[in-house]
Amino acid sequence: MDGYTASTYGDRIADLYDELYEGPPNPRQLDTLEELARGGRALELGIGTGRLALPLVARGVTITGLDSSSAMIERLRAGDGGADLPVIIGDFAHFDLDEEFDLVFVAFNTFFALLTQDDQLDCFGSVARHLTKDGMFLIEAFVPDLARFDRGQRTSVSHVELTRTVVDVSIHSPASQRIDSQQMVVEDGLPVRLLPVSVRYAWPAELDLMARLSGLRLLHRWGDWDRTPFGDDSMKHISIWGK
C-alpha cells in the first residue's frame, strides 16, 4: 500500500480502536504476562491504547511502552494509570533504550506490523540487546492460514449493528508473505471510514530462526493463553524465547 508507514495503522484507528476491540483482556493472558515479568521490568512493543498495559500496571507490573503512533498514545494517556506510564514514540524494529528488561512482549499479532524480514530480524536483535541475563521475549501471533484466501483475496464482516457495519477486505501476496487490508467502517449518514492495515506474516519456524540468529532460543510455545501445547490444529501461538 503506497504511503503506508509504521504509524499509519495507529493514527487512522486510534479513536475507534477500543470500541472495535472492546471487552476486558483475557485474564489468563494478564496472569501469564504478570508471572513472566517476575516483579521486574517489562517492555511492551506496540503498546497502543494500553488495552493490556493498563490492567497490568493496575496489578503492579512495571511497564514501559514503545509505539510509533502518537494518536494511540494520546488514548493511552487518557486511560486509568496511563498519564505517567513511560512511553517512547519510535519504531520497534530498531530501538536503543538505556535499560534492560525482564520481559519484552508484543501481543495481538503486532509483530507482523513489521513489513519486511529484515525489520523483523532487526526487532529480534533489538530485543536481545535489551534483555536481562534471564530475560524473556514473548510474541503472540496467528499461525498463517492461506486457505482463508480465494485467488489471493478475502472479504469478511467483523461487526453488524443497526446503523453500522465493518467490512474487512484483504489482498494476499504469497511471494512477500504480505497481507494488505482495509477495514471499511460503514455508518448510516456518515462518510465511509477506511482503516488500513498491512502485515508480513511468518510461520513459527521462521521466528525461531530469527531468534537463533539473535542469540535467543525457544523456551515455550503454547497454542493459547491456557498454555495448551502448540500443535497442528493451533490457530495462534504464544512463543517465548530467552538467551
Ligand X SMILES: C[S@@+](CC[C@H](N)C(=O)[O-])C[C@H]1O[C@@H](n2cnc3c(N)ncnc32)[C@H](O)[C@@H]1O
Binding residues for ligand X, rule: CB under 6 A, are 6, 9-10, 46-48, 51-52, 66-69, 72, 91-93, 107-108, 110, 113-114
- How far from chain centre, in Å, is Cα 36? 18
In whole angstroms, the minimum distance from the beta carbon of 111 to ligand X comes to 9
In whole angstroms, the minimum distance from the beta carbon of 32 to ligand X comes to 14
In whole angstroms, the minimum distance from the beta carbon of 72 to ligand X comes to 4
Closest CA to 169 of 180, 161, 160: 180
Residue type, 99: E
**Nearer to ligand X (CB atom), residue 67 or residue 102:** 67
Integer Cα distance of 147 and 149 in angstroms: 5
Closest CA to 107 of 67, 76, 144, 70: 67
DSSP 83: T
In whole angstroms, the minimum distance from the beta carbon of 156 to ligand X comes to 17
Closest CA to 44 of 34, 218, 26: 34
In whole angstroms, the minimum distance from the beta carbon of 56 to ligand X comes to 11
**Nearer to ligand X (CB atom), residue 77 or residue 243:** 77
Integer Cα distance of 100 and 144 in angstroms: 31
**Nearer to ligand X (CB atom), residue 102 or residue 122:** 122
Going through 47-201 in order, the beta strands assigned E by DSSP cover 62-67, 87-89, 101-106, 131-142, 153-160, 164-173, 178-187, 193-200
**Nearer to ligand X (CB atom), residue 20 or residue 190:** 20
**Nearer to ligand X (CB atom), residue 136 or residue 197:** 197
